[in-house]
Structure 1
Amino acid sequence: MVGPPFDSPPGRSGHTLKRTLTRSPAAYPIPWAPAAPTRPPSPPRAPAGRTFPE
């Protein structure tokens, strides 16, 4: 049986791991994807075509 085209270890462990991470990312703490509560509140955005008054 030929494995997946992308680089992965023998067996389906790699594929299963990727699918699990994609389905439930919250279950795995990812450094480059912090949880929403830990992220600072985004600054207010100006309306389209306008800028904040100085």
Structure 2
Amino acid sequence: MKIDNKQWKWTREPKDFTISEDKIEVITNPHTDLWQRTYYHFRNDNAPVLQMKTSEKLF
């Protein structure tokens, strides 16, 4: 898939990132994660997410 920077949007932008034609590199801040509902009730929902809308059913 060709990466079109205009289609992708950040939810919680990371500390640093690089997007090239063949690679996305993300550098996060310490203690960022997307863990939810562990057996010992740990929850952390603060990691960066890069996403886009698509009409593909199984993307």
TM-score range, shorter chain: under 0.3
Structure (1 or 2) with the larger CA radius of gyration: 1
Normalized per residue, the structure richer in helix is: 1
Q: TM-score, normalised by structure 2?
A: 0.21
Q: TM-score, normalised by structure 1?
A: 0.22
